[in-house]
Chains A and B, each alone.
Chain A
Amino acid sequence: DVVMTQSPLSLPVTLGQPASISCRSGQSLVHSDGNTYLNWFQQRPGQSPRRLIYKVSKRDSGVPDRFSGSGSGTDFTLKISRVEAEDVGVYYCMQGTHWPRTFGQGTKVEIE
């Protein structure tokens, strides 16, 4: 299985300040079709996961533009330009290139 390693696992942030989460995969996530299937999900307390980013950097409809994804190969980053109170929750990266699909351990974002 492709191991997805997130850091940090806990991220206290100040409202209005930026935040960044790293995700590293155990092998390249470049698919044979040329795409890189790296996704980011947000799970607010008591809610289902919600996809924010797909194919490394494509933002889903309705996702605020303060969220951005970047990276390539095995190293990926989710950035929040200015954290808002509604951003509290756990963030997961997930690879959709290899079988079985695998998730990172999750990064808990909380307001300081």
Chain B
Amino acid sequence: KAGVTQTPRYLIKTRGQQVTLSCSPISGHRSVSWYQQTPGQGLQFLFEYFSETQRNKGNFPGRFSGRQFSNSRSEMNVSTLELGDSALYLCASSTNREGYAFFGQGTRLTVV
């Protein structure tokens, strides 16, 4: 079956702009989570959506937001980009059945 798909794979944005990243989970998975990975802070949890509702949120400013659609696809948005937002953004989907979260290949965002 198809894995978790993230688009785009690479993005370059200018400070102050906003960006939207997309994630398509594995078919049948209703939970989608987002993580930020940076060399300094490592892998940090952003938020989780389940059946279109945000279920958990990490310790990130309000500039980071997300949503989930009825087909479980998810988007995350970062407004007013800062240089420190440059990171690999990973999406994961999961369900009780498999017993673990599946990750996409990530979107590498560079803010200049």
The answer to whether A binds B is: no
